[in-house]
Copies of this chain bind each other. A is one copy, B any other.
Amino acid sequence: MQLRDYLPFWAKLDGSQQDRLNRAALYCTAKRGTILHNGSQDCVGVLVLTDGRMRTYTLSGEGREVTLYRLFERDMCVFSASCVMRGVTFDVTIAAESDVSFFQIPSDLFRELMRESAVVANYVNELIATRMSDVMWLLDQVMYRRMDARVAAALLEEAELEQSEQLKLTHEELARHLGSAREVITRMLKYLQSEGLVSLGRGAVCLLDEAGLRRLAGDSLR
Q: Is A39 an interface residue (CB 8 A)?
A: no
User: A129 touches which one: B87, B115, B121, B122 (CB < 8 A)?
Assistant: B87
Are B129 and A88 within 8 A (Cβ)? yes
Residues of A114-140 at the interface with B, using a CB-CB cut-off of 8 Å, are 114-118, 120-122, 124-133, 135-140
Give the A interface residue count (CB, 8 A).
41
Known contacts A61-B219, A125-B125, A136 near B86 by CB under 8 Å = no
Q: List B contacts of A131 (CB < 8 A).
A: 132
User: A121 touches which one: B118, B133, B143, B144 (CB < 8 A)?
Assistant: B118
User: A90 touches which one: B85, B125, B133, B142 (CB < 8 A)?
Assistant: B133
Residues of A39-98 at the interface with B, using a CB-CB cut-off of 8 Å, are 58, 60-62, 64, 66, 85-90
Are B219 and A129 within 8 A (Cβ)? no
Are A115 and B125 within 8 A (Cβ)? no
CB distance from A95 to the nearest CB of B (A): 18
User: A125 touches which one: B85, B116, B135, B142 (CB < 8 A)?
Assistant: B85
Query: What are the 10 closest A-B residue pairs judged by CB atoms, nearest first?
Result: A121-B121, A87-B129, A87-B130, A90-B136, A87-B126, A60-B144, A89-B133, A132-B132, A118-B118, A86-B126
Listed by A's residue number, 14 A-B pairs whose Cβ atoms lie within 8 Å are A58-B139, A60-B140, A62-B144, A66-B139, A85-B125, A85-B129, A86-B126, A87-B126, A87-B127, A89-B130, A115-B122, A118-B120, A125-B128, A132-B135
